[in-house]
């Protein structure tokens, strides 16, 4: 509103309705796109050591969803862990975000040094190629990850998932919104599928928490319950 010199909220609402590009600009301004590869690396190694072996034994053609993926660091980190677990060829990973700008970066797969502050050196050397303007993700990983512009309140255009990772997104939403999203995640998980949320996120007082069993309180990993009809 300050940029447009509009001082009245009702007038700004009218401006939003009359100008198609303004809503996209507002979303870009409000969304928080801070992310790094292997942010909270212990969570990724917990998945590799304890969850991926279970999924690997269960079936081929696994589907992972990184919801609110920002510039793609999280879904690519999942892909690296899948590669380290020798299951990359059996996994399809979807990264979704509401901000189209950050998805453009994710599609490109080119990152600056700051994105790697939590990344083990051996993994960075193994899965990224140093180029003149940054670090380029390995093509094998890029082929396993698809990025889509999807609102968390909408049904994503892909099938049921075996693992959903949505970290440090719901913390910015009110209880009602958190309830809706948790229900959406539950409905979009396969039986016994896993949900991973952020370490700073506490889903206290939300009825939909009862839809999940706790796998790891430390790493905030949950598993879908089969609820009676």
Return the CATH number of 41-224, one of 3.30.590.20, 3.40.50.150, 3.40.50.1820, 3.40.50.300.
Answer: 3.40.50.150
Q: What is the pLDDT of residue 202?
A: 82
Q: What's the DSSP call for residue 192?
A: E
Angle between helices 20-30 and 9-18 (to 10 degrees): 120
- 8 Å CB contact between 60 and 89: no
Q: Residue 1's Cα: distance from chain center in Å?
A: 30
Q: What is the pLDDT of residue 163?
A: 98
Of 204, 205, 213, 164, which is closest to residue 184 (Cα–Cα)? 164
Q: What is the pLDDT of residue 31?
A: 58
What b-and-e string marks burial along 132-167, b requiring 16 or more CB atoms within 10 Å of the CB? eeebbbbeebbebbebeebebeeebeeeebbbbbbb
Using the predicted structure, report yes or no on whether residue 219 has a pLDDT greater than 70. yes
Q: What is the pLDDT of residue 32?
A: 56
pLDDT in tens, 46-80: 999 999 999 999 888 999 999 999 999 999 999 99
Cα 86-90-95 angle, rounded to 5 deg: 105
Q: What is the pLDDT of residue 228?
A: 60
pLDDT in tens, 7-33: 999 999 999 999 888 877 786 676 555
User: HSE-up of 198 (CA within 13 Å, CB side)?
Assistant: 15
User: Which ranges in the chain are annotated with CATH 3.40.50.150?
Assistant: 41-224
Q: What is the pTM of this model?
A: 0.86
CA of 133: how far to CAs of 1, 102, 110, 130, 136, in Å?
35, 17, 8, 8, 9
CA of 170: how far to CAs of 145, 181, 225, in Å?
23, 8, 21
């Amino acid at each position: 509103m300050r940029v447009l010199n509009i001082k009245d909220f009702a007038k700004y609402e009218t401006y939003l309705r009359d100008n198609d590009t303004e809503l996209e600009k507002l979303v870009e301004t409000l969304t928080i796109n801070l992310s790094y590869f292997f942010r909270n690396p212990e969570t990724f190694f917990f998945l590799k050591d304890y969850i991926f072996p279970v999924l690997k034994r269960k079936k081929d053609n696994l589907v992972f969803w990184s919801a609110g993926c920002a510039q793609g660091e999280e879904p690519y980190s999942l892909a690296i862990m899948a590669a380290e677990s020798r299951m990359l060829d059996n996994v399809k990973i979807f990264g979704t975000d509401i901000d189209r700008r950050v998805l453009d970066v994710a599609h490109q797969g080119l990152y600056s040094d700051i994105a790697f502050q939590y990344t083990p050196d051996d993994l960075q050397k193994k899965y990224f190629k140093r180029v003149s303007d940054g670090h380029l993700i390995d093509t094998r990983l890029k082929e396993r990850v698809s990025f889509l512009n999807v609102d968390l309140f909408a049904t994503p255009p892909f099938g049921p998932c075996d693992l959903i990772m949505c970290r440090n997104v719901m913390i910015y939403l009110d209880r009602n919104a958190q309830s809706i999203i948790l229900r959406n995640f539950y409905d979009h998980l396969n039986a016994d599928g896993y949900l991973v949320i952020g370490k700073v996120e506490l889903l206290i007082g939300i009825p939909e928490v009862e839809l999940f069993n706790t796998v790891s309180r430390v790493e905030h990993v949950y598993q879908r319950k089969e609820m009676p009809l």
